[in-house]
Amino acid sequence: MKLRENRSFVRFWIASTTSSFGTYITTLALQVLVVGNLEGSAVDVGWISASRWLPYVLLGLIAGVLVDRFHRKTVLVATDIGRSFILAFICLMSITGVISIGWLMFLLVLFGILSLFNDTAYQSFVPQLVPRPLLTRANARLEQSSAVAETSGPAIGGGLVSLIGAPFALLFDAISYLFSGVLMASIKHQPSEKVKMGPLGQQIKEGLRWVYQHQYLRTLALNTHAWFLFHSMTMTILVSIFLIELGFHASLLGFVLAAGGVGAVAGTSLSPLAGVRLGVGRAMSLSRILYGPAVILMALPLATNSSDSQFIALIFVIAGQLFYGFAMGIEGPLEMGYRQYVTPSHLQGRMNATLRSINRSAVVIGAPLGGIIADGLGFITALWISIFGLTLCGLWFSLSSMRNARIEDD
């Protein structure tokens, strides 16, 4: 059976794509709202980013157990609709002038709680829709749609923010989540067997043991945690450089960030082939080696930036974004497909929640840390620190046993 003949997967794909477009618009709109409307600093940008991921630190492991206990489609529908209402409320508070950094952080924590449960259910739902041999291809299709959204979302977001302002741009994401929730509700599938009720702590430990005692998942998990730390530092520093140091307009920032999506589209298109030709482990190793050089490409012209060379710096930054997005595009479907393939159905929620929660915990640390280092040591020094971390992650991954992982492993 081909993926396009699977009606349930097609509906899931459309719903996911719709909300992805809105998400990239909102990411940009929130950053502009903080810097432009609320006159925030690089540290504020970091804290706002961290607020979205804080629930992953506090509730991540619990979410995995709960998602394994309930029907995953119900979780997806409820959390999509809930996130739609929160974004609409942020818009209302912004246009009435009562929004503040504190209120925004509080609302984004609530948004993050819903996102945590949605992400856990989302990643665990795909194996219920498609056969396991098609998981890599299914994830590649989902990643391609996300990459297209990443390509055009920031550009559309930049245009919307410039045209109608950051608060109203958030409404587009609210509508996208509402549409996604309604479409998810129409999906027909065979529910997986729910996990039997038992001691919460015991079930959490079962998920942790699966991830951190597995021959390859252990290395994949630990390396990915470190990668997310330095990735979040990098993104916070780059956005701060673009908006504060270089004074990029919101529309130009959206154009620059969209370049990463173009690279990701190319990467996801080649991802299944790379997995077959090189093996999952070696293809992912290649991707992780590429992140450091991609950021170096962006950092070199910025280190000598002047008004005369700003156009040249912009070209290098766009090229670096393309390179960075390409690496993420190659890696994403392979990583997700491998995780889903080797994990039993009754552990899918806990496996995904374990990895997702600790990865986002790294973001909670890395995003504000990037802003703090940038404010204390300067943007360029902070960027080189994050480059060193990304390069170290790539070397570690490529020299580990994970490079030998293949989709046939179980």
Helix (H, G, I), strand (E, B) or coil at 192: coil
> If you average pLDDT over residues 369-398, what whole number do you get?
88
Residue 244 CA, chain-centre distance (Å), reads: 24
217-240 vs 379-399: helix axis angle to the nearest 10?
160
Given a cut of 70, whether residue 18 has pLDDT beyond it is yes
Residue 275's closest CA among 373, 135, 166?
135
- Does the residue 20 lie in any domain? yes
> Please, is 383 exposed, middle or buried when counting C-beta atoms within 10 Å of its C-beta (0-12, 13-18, 19+)?
buried
- Does the residue 78 lie in any domain? yes
Tokens of 8: 């349930």
Q: What average pLDDT does the chain have? A: 81
- Does the residue 129 lie in any domain? yes
Handedness of CA 240, 245, 251, 256 (dihedral sign): negative
> If you average pLDDT over residues 184-212, what whole number do you get?
74
310-342 vs 101-129: helix axis angle to the nearest 10?
50
Name the residue with higher pLDDT: 182 or 60: 182
Name the residue with higher pLDDT: 190 or 5: 5
Q: CA-to-CA distance for 116 and 110, rounded, in angstroms?
A: 10
> If you average pLDDT over residues 264-288, what whole number do you get?
86
Residue 166 banded pLDDT, cuts 50, 70, 90: confident
Given a cut of 90, whether residue 200 has pLDDT beyond it is no
Name the residue with higher pLDDT: 3 or 288: 288
Helix (H, G, I), strand (E, B) or coil at 396: helix
- Does the residue 84 lie in any domain? yes
Q: What pLDDT score does 247 carry?
A: 67
Instruction: For tokens 């396991």, name the residue.
Output: 132
Given a cut of 90, whether residue 374 has pLDDT beyond it is no
Q: What pLDDT score does 392 carry?
A: 94
**Contact indicator for 119, 348 with CB cutoff of 8 Å:** no
CATH of residue 48: 1.20.1250.20
Name the residue with higher pLDDT: 262 or 219: 219
Residue 410 banded pLDDT, cuts 50, 70, 90: very low
> If you average pLDDT over residues 11-28, what whole number do you get?
81
**Contact indicator for 383, 302 with CB cutoff of 8 Å:** yes
Cα torsion through 253, 255, 257, 259, rounded to 10: -150
Overall number of domains in the chain: 1
Residue 191 banded pLDDT, cuts 50, 70, 90: low
- H helix intervals, 130-249: 135-164, 166-185, 200-213, 217-240
**Residue 29 parent element (H or E):** helix 7-32
> If you average pLDDT over residues 368-397, what whole number do you get?
88
Given a cut of 70, whether residue 120 has pLDDT beyond it is yes
pLDDT digits (tens, 9 = 90+) for 130-160: 777 777 778 778 877 777 776 676 667 777 7
Instruction: Give me the domain span that covers residue 150.
Output: 3-185+197-404
Instruction: For tokens 């009606």, name the residue.
Output: 7
- Does the residue 241 lie in any domain? yes
Q: What pLDDT score does 1 carry?
A: 56
Count of CB atoms situated within 10 Å of the CB of 220: 22
Tokens of 98: 């009562």
> If you average pLDDT over residues 265-269, what whole number do you get?
84
Tokens of 95: 């246009």
Residue 55's closest CA among 26, 14, 86?
86
Name the residue with higher pLDDT: 30 or 108: 108
Is pTM, for the whole model, over 0.75?
no
Residue 245 banded pLDDT, cuts 50, 70, 90: low
Least confident residue range of 7-11, 125-129, 219-223, 329-333: 125-129
> If you average pLDDT over residues 298-310, what whole number do you get?
63
Terminal CA-CA length for the chain: 23
Q: What pLDDT score does 397 carry?
A: 92
- Does the residue 328 lie in any domain? yes
Least confident residue range of 49-63, 87-101, 182-196, 350-364: 182-196
Given a cut of 90, whether residue 396 has pLDDT beyond it is yes
- Does the residue 388 lie in any domain? yes
Instruction: For tokens 């959206």, name the residue.
Output: 254
Residue 246 banded pLDDT, cuts 50, 70, 90: low
Q: CA-to-CA distance for 252 and 15, rounded, in angstroms?
A: 28
Residue 230 banded pLDDT, cuts 50, 70, 90: very high
- Does the residue 192 lie in any domain? no
Residue 309 banded pLDDT, cuts 50, 70, 90: low
Instruction: For tokens 């038992």, name the residue.
Output: 198
Given a cut of 80, whether residue 40 has pLDDT beyond it is no
Q: What pLDDT score does 284 carry?
A: 92
